[in-house]
Structure 1
Amino acid sequence: MTDNLIPDLRLDAVHHTDQPLLDVRNAGVTFWTEHGDVQAVRDISLQLYRGETIAVVGESGSGKSVTARLIMGLLSKRARVSPDARVVFDGQDILKYSREKRRQLRGRRISMIFQEPMSSLNPLYTVGNQIVEAFRAHRRVSRAEARRQAVALLNEVRIPNPELRIDQYPHQLSGGQRQRVMIAMALANNPDVLIADEPTTALDVTVQAQILNLIRDLQKKHGMAVILITHDLTVVRKFSDYVYVMQKGALQEHNTTAALFAAPKHPYTRHLLGSEPRGTAKPLGDSEPIILEGRNVRVAFALRGGGFFHPTYHDLVAVDSLSLRLRRHETLGLVGESGSGKTTFGQALARLIDQDGGEILFDNVPIQNKSREEMRPLRSRMQIVFQDPFSSLNPRMTVGQIIGEGLVVNGIGASSAERLDRVRAALRDAGLPDNITGRFPHEFSGGQRQRIAIARAIALEPEFLLLDEPTSALDLSVQAQIIDLLRKLQDERGLSYLFISHDLKVVRALCHRVIVMQHGKIVEQGPVEDILSRPQTDYTQKLVKAAFEVAD
């Protein structure tokens, strides 16, 4: 690392005649822990001008989100900001503001889209109430007018049927729809600065392009500046003007987007740019038997509308009589936009939810009518890795307890010592040290938590894994590690994967075949290279274009 890669001032500062809207200098953040101080951010300086987008990139744990929370004034009580740090916004050092003054600034002039919408949205309130609250916290507006604006905002961020969706709760929306609600809340008061912390992580590729284009349109309309925190370098290249690269809490390099992508100078930057998912799945023999089959599977949900005293109901068909076959040792990709029904289809096949019609066979045995108790003996043979590992790991249990719980429930292992040996073996197989059994989920990075979730699944030695967006929240280099891990486990254990994803780059690297879904129906299916290289339908062509080019 050479000093000229990380000067305090931007390399293009001489081309700007105005002062930065946001000027962060010498920012450092240290957290107190029971095991000593942890320096999360070290001597960070960055500048943001009106109407532009800067990107902050780096691996999980590099300090990107902590830097954003420092600017927002959302650090925890355990955090200590370095005494010489300055965060100058519109000419004033906001680190010197009172707590009340920072609160008034936050959400009105500086707003933030958080990475995990399910953790950020209140599960007890409808999404409409939460957006209305964002309006009324900073503006004098009637509840009726705020609701009207909230419906318009939901429509603007491409949520279908906003008049119905506004009265739903977060758990009734898909992951992508919840993220769009978060974006709507952040944009409610037309902020001067929008900090977008992985804003499109949970979104499919076409909606990702729509949301990023929406943010760019709002920039032009209101002169808004954006700090984009992301691991998607395709997005960085397309939408940012300037890039800051972080590693282990420190800046390693910064430059204009064009210059940094054309000639990265730091080895870490070159490593990031070379971390796109690569390779293809190993060829599959024709003689492999079917392990999972769905025949005309249908799933519908009742949606409530109308008033409190005169409710109306109508069916939303999420999975419309679909069929698939998954062979042993095969990876089958399920792709489609958010709300297309892919997760619902996968959960129905794994009997996590009930279907309304059709047949489901696991290892040639019908399971569609089996009760929860009857399914229990099969659970060790079919396991699930969920999209958000932090939500699916019990925060009150240690890693050893989390992984060992399935062994206890399924009566695997003759003694606690034998079960502990299995837990440690699963951790090693998942690429983690086996001495972490006494630690808790919050002590790990996102990539490590996802490995723990995989270790929990493989500890039971299953034959089939349902992988629901297992790499969506991970940065590119960790994505590549997880893909390599899944390939290794498939080779060693002969696993079959049903891989649900919106990331077609990962699908291309991992899957043998792919099924494309839209509005609960299958629109196209076939070998992954055929579908992604020569898509036949307009919808698949749009998905492929958005995935590999970030469509305009």
Structure 2
Amino acid sequence: MTETIDVLTAAPFERRDLAERDGRPVIDARNVAVRFKVEHGTVEAVKDVSFQLYRGETIAIVGESGSGKSVTARCVMGLLSKRATIAPQSRIDYDGKDVLKFSPRERRGLRGNRLAMIFQEPMSSLNPVYTVGTQIIEAIRAHRRMSRRAATERALELLRHVRIPDPELRINQYPHQLSGGQRQRVMIAMALANDPDVLIADEPTTALDVTVQAQILNLIRDLQRELGMAVILITHDLTVVRQFSDYVYVMQYGEVKEHNTTAALFANPLHAYTKRLLSSEPSGAAKPLPDNAPIMLDGRDVKVSFMLKKGGLFRSQFSELVAVDKLSLNLRKHETLGLVGESGSGKTTFGQALIRLLNPDGGEIYFDGIPIHDKDRTQMRPLRSRIQIVFQDPFASLNPRMSIGQIIEEGLVVNGIGENRKDRLDRVVDALNAAGMPGNILSRFPHEFSGGQRQRIAIARAIALEPEFILLDEPTSALDLSVQAQIIELLRKLQDERGLSYLFISHDLKVVRALCHRVVVMQHGRIVEEGPVSEILSNPKTAYTERLVRAAFDVAA
């Protein structure tokens, strides 16, 4: 009964600021419900959702993975799969007309024209075999009668508009030749090609560095003001919501649990779920280390470089790219050391060189006093069970054809750990339990789990070998805030119980502040600043670190 009263008071049928609004909304969604046919029945992904969007404003739809926020957006765009069924009482008015009653041809006329959408991962949205210019031109000519030459000029104008450097060069490049931030700018250019009334941004900055994230969000806001667009921002980053939205809808289990103006919702959340979301921001600090803690990992003057080839087959030119420029770093037992910097700063390359997943071109590396810089792959094998890694995207690092039991047991088999099959399976179950997962999932496959659960499975795979050191490469960047908080607590707990040492690579300084003892800041393959987390984040000494900190804690800066 308490929950019912909570929802009714927190999520009334009409917007709370209705009296302050003039005219009708550009999007007025009422009683939207979507269900999907699945193998054993149906899943109600969205239940009775209503929201309104007015011209020139930004509304945010927030919630954890599986809350239905992206399905709601796709319903507006007409991008649901064939397995989806929209309930007959659902209504989505665009400019006073119910788009759910439009024919497929009429929906296509709206999509990419009056209503546009940018997605979380531009690399999966852009066609890898066409240049970015070809793809922008296609978006323009699909809705406008225009010569190819005029469309090319418009594409160049759009690339300048979204502030892509050297647009005349970039227009003939392929998506893989652009950085993550540049690809997202291309997606925005395509979305803006026909001056839409509504732009839906579905997690547009999740995988981007904090500085690039700030640039993309500020760009969307500037373009919104210039073009008078309305924006629906779908995100799990509450800092972004607070800085960029005017009104917020909070979703859980397919329902709107609360909605209010941004200022009011952050100042006085009413629903228990909203309160939990707001309190899920990474918090706390690492426990102090004993002064006599021995050094676990020691890198001295480590260098990694790559040879880049330019030109054609007969006129090739080679140049050296120094990704890690004679860097030194040490990590003590039970310590968490943060390695931060923008994409391309060399932090992942440095981390992988330190554990010999990459061969360094120079320098010395010692693990627990043992020199490993001169060891080959075979000589490194006895140490592999003591050194583990957890990657950013668990779906890419977990074999989709293997069951969870096989994935975790594989490392035990390879390293000769466990007396027999039963002993190995007991170790697998223990590792899953330690990572907060039940032991009865051994026969299931990675696609059957959420992002947070897959990351727990990846952590279980690492700790099953009982390592002393784990390289954590962006392990929380793609996770919801509440799931992120759970993973941080799990990593703390495992460190306390097992005495683990972590090298934590991240661009999320909030997570670094909550988890790490010290931090090393990298730029262009060099260390620009290092020291205790509290000191570096509260009193940065370099302009670069200051810019990173400002972008992380005050996105609008």
2:263 is aligned to 258
Per the alignment, do residues 375 and 90 of structure 1 end up closer, same or farther by CA in structure 2, a change over 3 Å counting? farther
In the alignment, residue 424 of structure 1 is paired with which amino acid?
Answer: V
1:318 is aligned to 323
Per-residue CA deviation, residues 146-184 of structure 1 (Å, 9 max, x unaligned), is: 677667756665666767766666566665555455444
Are 1:355 and 2:360 counterparts?
Answer: yes
Q: Displacement of 1:137 after TM fit?
A: 4.4
Query: 1:194·1:227 contact (CA, 8 Å) conserved in 2?
Result: yes
In the alignment, residue 445 of structure 2 is paired with which amino acid?
Answer: F
Per the alignment, do residues 369 and 480 of structure 1 end up closer, same or farther by CA in structure 2, a change over 3 Å counting? same
Are 1:519 and 2:536 counterparts?
Answer: no
The 5 Å alignment of 1:534-549 reads 534-549=539-554
Query: 1:179·1:203 contact (CA, 8 Å) conserved in 2?
Result: no
Q: Displacement of 1:351 after TM fit?
A: 2.6
Q: Give the match's secondary structure for 2:49.
A: strand
- The farther-off stretch of 239-248 and 387-396 is 387-396
2:97 is aligned to 92
Q: Displacement of 1:262 after TM fit?
A: 1.8
Per-residue CA deviation, residues 401-436 of structure 1 (Å, 9 max, x unaligned), is: 222222233333333332222221111111111112
Are 1:388 and 2:398 counterparts?
Answer: no
Equivalent residue for 2:348, pick from 337, 343, 347: 343
Q: Displacement of 1:353 after TM fit?
A: 3.0
Q: Displacement of 1:338 after TM fit?
A: 2.4
In the alignment, residue 386 of structure 2 is paired with which amino acid?
Answer: R
Equivalent residue for 1:194, pick from 193, 199, 202: 199
2:442 is aligned to 437
Per-residue CA deviation, residues 198-223 of structure 1 (Å, 9 max, x unaligned), is: 21111222222111110000001111
Are 1:43 and 2:48 counterparts?
Answer: yes
Q: Displacement of 1:473 after TM fit?
A: 1.4
Per the alignment, do residues 120 and 393 of structure 1 end up closer, same or farther by CA in structure 2, a change over 3 Å counting? farther
* Runs of at least 5 residues in structure 1 that lack an aligned partner in the other structure: none
Q: Distance in 2 between matches of 1:354 and 1:140?
A: 55
Query: 2:331·2:337 contact (CA, 8 Å) conserved in 1?
Result: yes
Q: Distance in 2 between matches of 1:281 and 1:89?
A: 50
Query: 1:176·1:338 contact (CA, 8 Å) conserved in 2?
Result: no
Q: Displacement of 1:131 after TM fit?
A: 4.8
Q: Displacement of 1:190 after TM fit?
A: 3.8
Larger radius of gyration: 2
Q: Displacement of 1:22 after TM fit?
A: 1.2
Query: 1:179·1:202 contact (CA, 8 Å) conserved in 2?
Result: no
Per the alignment, do residues 379 and 129 of structure 1 end up closer, same or farther by CA in structure 2, a change over 3 Å counting? farther
1:461 is aligned to 466
Q: Distance in 2 between matches of 1:346 and 1:182?
A: 31
Equivalent residue for 2:489, pick from 484, 496, 511: 484
In the alignment, residue 272 of structure 1 is paired with which amino acid?
Answer: L
Q: Distance in 2 between matches of 1:402 and 1:120?
A: 30
In the alignment, residue 510 of structure 1 is paired with which amino acid?
Answer: L
Q: Give the match's secondary structure for 1:435.
A: helix
Are 1:407 and 2:412 counterparts?
Answer: yes
Q: Give the match's secondary structure for 1:431.
A: coil
Q: Displacement of 1:543 after TM fit?
A: 1.5
2:475 is aligned to 470
Are 1:331 and 2:340 counterparts?
Answer: no
Are 1:20 and 2:28 counterparts?
Answer: no
2:117 is aligned to 112
Q: Give the match's secondary structure for 1:387.
A: coil
Per the alignment, do residues 363 and 400 of structure 1 end up closer, same or farther by CA in structure 2, a change over 3 Å counting? same
Equivalent residue for 1:217, pick from 219, 222, 243: 222
The 5 Å alignment of 1:65-214 reads 65-124=70-129, 130-131=135-136, 133-139=138-144, 178-214=183-219
Q: Displacement of 1:119 after TM fit?
A: 3.9
1:420 is aligned to 425
Q: Give the match's secondary structure for 2:325.
A: strand
Query: 1:300·1:356 contact (CA, 8 Å) conserved in 2?
Result: yes
Q: Distance in 2 between matches of 1:496 and 1:61?
A: 33
Q: Displacement of 1:106 after TM fit?
A: 2.5
Cα RMSD (Å) of the superposition? 2.7
Query: 1:58·1:247 contact (CA, 8 Å) conserved in 2?
Result: yes
The 5 Å alignment of 1:258-277 reads 258-277=263-282
In the alignment, residue 483 of structure 2 is paired with which amino acid?
Answer: V
Q: Distance in 1 between matches of 2:294 and 2:20?
A: 64
Q: Displacement of 1:360 after TM fit?
A: 2.8
Query: 1:177·1:338 contact (CA, 8 Å) conserved in 2?
Result: no
TM-score, structure 2 as length reference: 0.91
In the alignment, residue 300 of structure 2 is paired with which amino acid?
Answer: R
Q: Give the match's secondary structure for 2:291.
A: coil
- The farther-off stretch of 188-197 and 113-122 is 113-122
- The farther-off stretch of 522-531 and 430-439 is 430-439
Q: Displacement of 1:50 after TM fit?
A: 1.5
Q: Distance in 2 between matches of 1:327 and 1:155?
A: 48
- The farther-off stretch of 421-430 and 360-369 is 360-369
- The farther-off stretch of 212-221 and 116-125 is 116-125
Q: Displacement of 1:500 after TM fit?
A: 1.0
Query: 2:181·2:216 contact (CA, 8 Å) conserved in 1?
Result: no
Per the alignment, do residues 130 and 416 of structure 1 end up closer, same or farther by CA in structure 2, a change over 3 Å counting? farther
- The farther-off stretch of 105-114 and 52-61 is 105-114
Query: 1:28·1:81 contact (CA, 8 Å) conserved in 2?
Result: yes
Are 1:497 and 2:498 counterparts?
Answer: no
Per the alignment, do residues 377 and 407 of structure 1 end up closer, same or farther by CA in structure 2, a change over 3 Å counting? same
1:55 is aligned to 60
TM-score, structure 1 as length reference: 0.92
Q: Distance in 2 between matches of 1:140 and 1:374?
A: 65
In the alignment, residue 43 of structure 1 is paired with which amino acid?
Answer: D
Q: Displacement of 1:337 after TM fit?
A: 1.8
Equivalent residue for 1:300, pick from 305, 311, 321: 305
- The farther-off stretch of 505-514 and 120-129 is 120-129
Task: State percent identity of aligned pairs.
Answer: 73
Are 1:8 and 2:41 counterparts?
Answer: no
Per the alignment, do residues 317 and 172 of structure 1 end up closer, same or farther by CA in structure 2, a change over 3 Å counting? farther
Per the alignment, do residues 471 and 164 of structure 1 end up closer, same or farther by CA in structure 2, a change over 3 Å counting? farther
Q: Distance in 1 between matches of 2:300 and 2:136?
A: 41
Query: 2:112·2:196 contact (CA, 8 Å) conserved in 1?
Result: yes
- The farther-off stretch of 173-182 and 494-503 is 173-182
Q: Distance in 2 between matches of 1:350 and 1:161?
A: 38
In the alignment, residue 479 of structure 2 is paired with which amino acid?
Answer: L
Q: Displacement of 1:328 after TM fit?
A: 1.5
Query: 1:508·1:528 contact (CA, 8 Å) conserved in 2?
Result: yes
- The farther-off stretch of 377-386 and 62-71 is 377-386
1:227 is aligned to 232
Query: 1:108·1:191 contact (CA, 8 Å) conserved in 2?
Result: yes
Q: Distance in 2 between matches of 1:523 and 1:156?
A: 33
Q: Displacement of 1:139 after TM fit?
A: 4.8
Per the alignment, do residues 398 and 332 of structure 1 end up closer, same or farther by CA in structure 2, a change over 3 Å counting? same
